[in-house]
Amino acid sequence: MLAVTTNPRIDPKKRAVLDPRKRQFAKAQWVEQEYAHRMNFYTTPPTGDISLEQFEEWGIARLKVLAELEACQFRNKPPAETEEYMRPVLEKHMRLSSTRSRSSETAMERKKDHYSHWSLRLAFSGTADLRQRFARLETQLFKLRLQHDDLAERRAFIDSLPMSWETVTAEEKNLWLDELKAATGFSSMRGDEESWFKVDWEMVPELVERRQVLLKRGKAYVHVREQQTMVVNEFSRRLEAGLELAARFLPRMDEDNRLAPILHHLSQSFVAPDAGYSESSSIGDMASINASSIDALSQHFPLCMLNLHRELRKDSHLKHYGRLQYTLFLKGIGLSLQECIVFWRKSFKLLTDEKFKSEYLYNIRHSYGDVGGDANKRGRGYTPYSCQKLLTEALPSGGQSHGCPYRTYSPDNLVALLQNVGINDRELLRGVREDVGKQRYHIACNRVFETTHKNEIKKVKDQSLWPASELDTILHPNTYFKRGFLLKNLGKVQSGDIGVDVPTQMSE
Amino acid sequence: MPHAVSPESSQELPALNSEAEVLPDAPPTTSLDTDAQSSDVEEPESKQTNAAPAKLDELFDDDDDDEFSSSVQTRADDSSQPAPQAAPKAQYSEPETLRQFYQRLFPFRPLFQWLNHAASPQPDFQNREFAFVLPNDAYIRYQSFASADLFRKQCLQMTPTRFEIGPQYSMNPRERKTMRSASSFRPVMKELVFDIDMTDYDPIRTCCSGASICHKCWRFIVMAVKVVDGALREDFGFQHILWVYSGRRGAHAWISDKRAREMDDAKRKSIAGYLELLRGSEHGKKGLGIRRPLHPHIDRSLKILNPHFQTDVLADQDPWQSSEQAEKLLNLLPDKTLTAALQKKWDSAPNRSSNQKWADIDTVAEAGNLSTLTTKQLVDAKQDIRLEYTYPRLDAEVSKKLNHLLKSPFVIHPGTGRVCVPIDVRRLDDFDPFEVPTVTQLLQEIDDWDAKNASMSEEERAKVLDWQKTGLKPYVEYFRGHVATLLKEEGRGKREREEAGAGGDPMEF
């Protein structure tokens, strides 16, 4: 009953075709678009003709670029490194020359950029999850390109955008000069020569949140330097809205059976990397995992989980988010619901049975998908948290100990914690300190892993026991555990057991 | 609008409902003789049978809410027994008191207009979620009403001890489960809200702790309101801000500007971030880590707060009086030589007040006891301390989510019996939480007024509404004024947009 209405709207393009008289004289609405700027806001969908092969090839090329961009993010590369890394990738798959280069290819390159964006937009509008990731990556790509645009061309591009900003007049600027400086923190600048813009504060929520902009009666006074951020935000906002719209129109596209398989294929190859967890990350078939074996197994845990385990043992209690993170991890390593309940019950030894039942049991069962809404049950509860999740969630406050310790602990406390769990290698600790200082938290974690499993990794490499991809960067606590466990039990592992799952990159 | 007849109250909660209908409007002298009046129980049911078939879905709908409805049914009997008369505390949440309150005093009409933004019911109100807390502590979410009358009716039937207001949804919350995809039921609009609670001040207040407050620590709320209200008006340009006393130890703000109502979670989060300064509890020697020169908002706030720091904190709270307390202050100063010198001075003269100790910092520093700090840095450190002791401590989570529920204005706080009245910010300093009337007082005031004006003619007396006879009058009048300005502006905006076709009966009661 909630299906699409029986009377589908005819889109303007088709309507023109339907009326023969109009068709004869009308200027075709799908003429090739002119691309005046290198950058594109992708506001109008392409209307020209391209071959199916081009449709797919261009889509795949763009997908490669996005995948590499996401990989950079997973590896926590700082912007400068990402840029360095992305340059050859962009050059190879999605070259975009500047207008000044007078290359004969510019028109074609821009067309490819335009069309591929729209085909991927279609492919990834299916689920909220895909939409969100696509919007995030496209925004990053847009930002990356905008930063490298030729100065004059960027100016021209930005001026061509339909944005609602207003230049602050000289009088107004002088009036607020001190406040402008204080608000933005650009104390050294020569204020009178800089230009400022006035926009609705909703355009720059990040600046408002960080208190880096002057607000007056709902208007934000934005420095020209922040203009790029605003353009990027606007791009992101429109893309998200566009994706929502595309999602609603998607069901009506079914009549064209040529595109659907291509779109499906494109979106499939985008699904894999984020989750990074599958049932095979448990070691259930190799060792018995029950409530009483957790203590012994904890030696293989990554620091985030080991820390929770230690806190739990110390206080006989963990706060909500810590419990959630740890329960899901335990679920991931193959602890059954029954054993998990036993584990928590025993661990919270200061609690009465009644309190445990009324306040804690439900959450554990919910994590396993034993209770809760239909969707939760069908999905068998939540997925264990990935590093990305742990690194992006809100920081724990007093008394909480969830999250990634490499991020949540101050460097000194982190080093103390590492020493506490038996990591004393001075060189390693120095490296960790450095990584953490540069906010490369999970590189630090991988560094610890590689050092503590040095000998085993060497053996595996020398004897080529595992495919190289199995020793890739670790992006998931459960991968850390499983790989660590397997490495320490190399003798017992049969070659068939090497199912250490590393998230397959979408470029593969 | 059949769904609005609130079927669950009649069918799901037979005990509660029948009781509510049975109890007469007359003063509570009538004994609660349920047997004698049990014949009346039929009445509400028969009244509603004509509407019943249309509401089947909703019945199922609410049956699905297993934990709520079942607990209501099993425990409804408790509440139907007359509560012991002696216990004064329980009196506030006694169904009879509550029902009288909702019937005679609660300003349903302005509340409706405030949430509806127009005179005739529109989705702003109709698709809005209300959550009821019943006398037996059952919590019922996703209630919605087609009109203020129906809303009032359900309040009278269920006598909630309090109710909370949520967002307007993309569809009627009662029908949410009829949609196939969960994503089509989503919050679309709600007032921007803030919650300031005294518990967050426990680390710095010396007079009370936990749930209790006194005049001294109420000043913290006053400071917070001034700062937040200033920022909302001057920086964000909001105009329709309603501050409400939360009934015990805090205050809520409701911002009804259209621009504020339509904000998504990200924007709410950024406003909360803009206003939030004291994250986490321990700051220590590092200070608050705020940039210099101060952001204009912090600068303005500091100007507002400085006089309060002198009187309300240093003089009234006297937070560093004892030597253990003074330790706290020393911990906030990042210069070892300075703290050592101060420690020495205070050890030799143990009875110095916080005011003197605060002044000592400068005297001792001027005497050349600074090692690592420049004078400028000391000024900054002192600013940080002032902010730590005065800057609003918001419960930011409340503000960040569009779908967060917050207790409605004018309901009764179950612990104190006080009505959650609006606070007039223009006369903020005069507001005294201890003078806020309790429900029992108000009901008494009606009786007193009636007794006093017994000579008045029937006609004259009918002109005076019950709330006008009581201490609730100024608060209701203030609220009506607030709503009137809001509606005026909404009307202006609406006329520009379009003529809405959906009509509703203009309500009056």
Query: Which tens digits make up the pLDDT trace of A332-373?
Result: 888 888 889 999 998 888 888 888 888 888 888 888 888 877
Per-residue pLDDT band for A458 (boundaries 50, 70, 90) equals confident
pLDDT score recorded for residue A369: 83
* Mean pLDDT, residues A11-32 taken together: 54
pLDDT score recorded for residue B237: 94
pLDDT score recorded for residue A77: 72
* Mean pLDDT, residues B37-58 taken together: 39
Closest residue to B281, CB basis, from A183, A214, A398: A398
CB contact under 8 A, A208 and B282: no
Query: Percent of chain B beyond pLDDT 70?
Result: 77
Q: Is the separation of the CB atoms in B150 and B5 below 8 Å? A: yes
Residues of B with CB under 8 A from a CB of A: 179-183, 234-238, 259, 263, 266-267, 269-271, 273-274, 279-282, 291, 293-299
Q: Is the separation of the CB atoms in A448 and A417 below 8 Å? A: no
> Looking at A14-167, which runs of residues are DSSP E strands?
166-167
Q: Is A208 on the interface with B (CB under 8 A)?
A: yes
Place of tokens 């489960």: B177
Per-residue pLDDT band for B506 (boundaries 50, 70, 90) equals very low
Residue B509 clears pLDDT 50, i.e. is over it:
no
Q: Residue A157: what are its φ and ψ, rounded to 5°?
A: -65, -45
* Mean pLDDT, residues A146-159 taken together: 83
The shortest C-alpha distance from A30 to chain B (Å) reads 34
A220 interaction partners in chain B (CB closer than 8 Å): none
Q: Is A445 marked within a binding site?
A: yes
CB B276: neighbour CB atoms within 10 A?
18
User: Residue B53: is the preceding peptide bond cis (ω within 30°)?
Assistant: no
CB contact under 8 A, A2 and B179: yes
- In this structure, is residue B314 part of a structural domain? yes
Task: Show the domain range for B330.
Answer: 283-391
Q: Alpha helix locations (H) across A149-213?
A: 151-160, 170-184, 205-209
pLDDT score recorded for residue A13: 53
Residue A273 clears pLDDT 60, i.e. is over it:
no
- Backbone dihedral region of B4: left (phi > 0), alpha (psi from -120 to 50 degrees) or beta? alpha
* Mean pLDDT, residues B216-243 taken together: 95
What chain A residue is nearest to B179 in terms of C-alpha separation? A2
Half-sphere exposure of residue B345: CA atoms within 13 angstroms, side-chain side: 22
Higher model confidence: residue B70 or residue B90?
Answer: B90
CB contact under 8 A, B235 and A206: no
Give the three-class secondary structure for B407: strand
Q: What token pair was written down for B474? A: 């100024």
pLDDT score recorded for residue B1: 42
* Mean pLDDT, residues B380-391 taken together: 91
Place of tokens 């999970």: A442
Average pLDDT for chain B: 80
| A199, A201, A229, best to mutate vs chain B, most B CBs in 10 Å | A201
CB contact under 8 A, A179 and B296: yes
Q: What token pair was written down for A253? A: 């596209």
Tell me how many domains chain B contains. 1
* Mean pLDDT, residues A38-61 taken together: 85
Question: pLDDT (tens digit, 9 = 90+) per residue, B175-205?
Answer: 888 877 667 788 999 999 999 998 888 888 8
Average pLDDT for chain A: 79
Distance from C-alpha of A128 to C-alpha of A135, rounded to nearest angstrom: 10
pLDDT score recorded for residue B48: 40
Question: pLDDT (tens digit, 9 = 90+) per residue, B288-317?
Answer: 778 888 999 999 999 999 999 999 999 999
Q: Which helix (H) or strand (E) holds B392?
A: none
Query: Percent of chain A beyond pLDDT 70?
Result: 81
Q: Is A3 on the interface with B (CB under 8 A)?
A: no
Catalytic sites of B, residue numbers: 129, 195, 197
Tell me the β-bridge partners of B407.
B164
A185 interaction partners in chain B (CB closer than 8 Å): 291, 293
Segment among A114-128, A234-248, A306-320, B30-44 with least mean pLDDT: B30-44
CB A485: neighbour CB atoms within 10 A?
19
CB contact under 8 A, A217 and B236: yes
Q: Is A404 marked within a binding site?
A: yes
Residue A129 clears pLDDT 80, i.e. is over it:
no
Residue B32 clears pLDDT 60, i.e. is over it:
no
Residue B75 clears pLDDT 60, i.e. is over it:
no
Per-residue pLDDT band for A492 (boundaries 50, 70, 90) equals low
CB B507: neighbour CB atoms within 10 A?
19
B238 interaction partners in chain A (CB closer than 8 Å): 218
Q: Is the separation of the CB atoms in A16 and A29 below 8 Å? A: yes
- In this structure, is residue B299 part of a structural domain? yes
pLDDT score recorded for residue B431: 94
pLDDT score recorded for residue B470: 93
Q: Is the separation of the CB atoms in B227 and B393 below 8 Å? A: no
Q: Which of B14, B58, B105 is nearest to B473 (CA)?
A: B105
Residue B264 clears pLDDT 60, i.e. is over it:
yes
Question: pLDDT (tens digit, 9 = 90+) per residue, A423-441?
Answer: 888 888 988 888 888 777 8
- In this structure, is residue B442 part of a structural domain? no
Give one DSSP letter per residue of B54-93, joined into a string.
GGHHHHHHHHH-HHHHHHHHHHHHHHHSPPPSS-HHHHTT
CB contact under 8 A, A205 and B267: yes
Question: pLDDT (tens digit, 9 = 90+) per residue, B96-111?
Answer: 999 999 999 999 999 9
Closest residue to A183, CB basis, from B182, B267, B296: B296
A216 interaction partners in chain B (CB closer than 8 Å): 234-235, 237
Q: Which of A330, A336, A303 is nearest to A447 (CA)?
A: A303
Determine the distance from the C-alpha atom of residue A341 to the mean position of all C-alpha atoms in its chain, rounded to a whole number.
32
Of A294-303, A352-361, B158-167, give the range with the top mean pLDDT. B158-167
Per-residue pLDDT band for B156 (boundaries 50, 70, 90) equals very high
| A127, A178, A202, best to mutate vs chain B, most B CBs in 10 Å | A202
Q: Is A72 marked within a binding site?
A: no
Distance from C-alpha of A200 to C-alpha of A203, rounded to nearest angstrom: 6
Give one DSSP letter per residue of A432-452, joined into a string.
HHHHHHTT-HHHHHHHHHHHH
CB contact under 8 A, A216 and B297: no
A135 interaction partners in chain B (CB closer than 8 Å): none
CB contact under 8 A, A208 and B238: no
CA angle A162, A165, A170 (to 5 degrees): 140
Q: Which helix (H) or strand (E) holds A66?
A: helix A52-74
CB contact under 8 A, B280 and A2: no
A201 interaction partners in chain B (CB closer than 8 Å): 236
Q: Is the separation of the CB atoms in A371 and A422 below 8 Å? A: no
Pairing of strands B241-245, A214-216: unpaired
Give the contacts of A300 (CB within 8 A, at least 6 positions apart): A481, A484, A485, A488
Distance from C-alpha of B27 to C-alpha of A255, rounded to nearest angstrom: 71
Higher model confidence: residue A195 or residue A139?
Answer: A139
Q: What are the b/e assignments for B5-34, b being 16+ CB within 10 Å?
A: bbbbbbbbbebbbbbbbbbeeeeeeeeeeb
Q: Is A182 on the interface with B (CB under 8 A)?
A: yes
CATH number given to A29-159+234-275: 1.20.930.80
Q: Is A304 marked within a binding site?
A: yes
- In this structure, is residue B29 part of a structural domain? no
- In this structure, is residue B380 part of a structural domain? yes
Question: pLDDT (tens digit, 9 = 90+) per residue, B424-441?
Answer: 999 999 999 999 999 999
B234 interaction partners in chain A (CB closer than 8 Å): 216-217
Q: Is the separation of the CB atoms in B199 and B249 below 8 Å? A: yes
- Backbone dihedral region of B193: left (phi > 0), alpha (psi from -120 to 50 degrees) or beta? beta
- Backbone dihedral region of B212: left (phi > 0), alpha (psi from -120 to 50 degrees) or beta? beta
Residue A389 clears pLDDT 90, i.e. is over it:
no
- In this structure, is residue B54 part of a structural domain? no
CB A149: neighbour CB atoms within 10 A?
20
CA angle B158, B164, B170 (to 5 degrees): 105
Q: Is the separation of the CB atoms in B388 and B223 below 8 Å? A: no
Per-residue pLDDT band for A52 (boundaries 50, 70, 90) equals confident
Domain boundaries, chain A: 29-159+234-275, 162-228, 279-497
Taking CA atoms, A43 is separated from A167, A243, A267, A507, B93, in Å, by 24, 12, 22, 27, 58
Per-residue pLDDT band for B505 (boundaries 50, 70, 90) equals very low
Per-residue pLDDT band for B172 (boundaries 50, 70, 90) equals very high
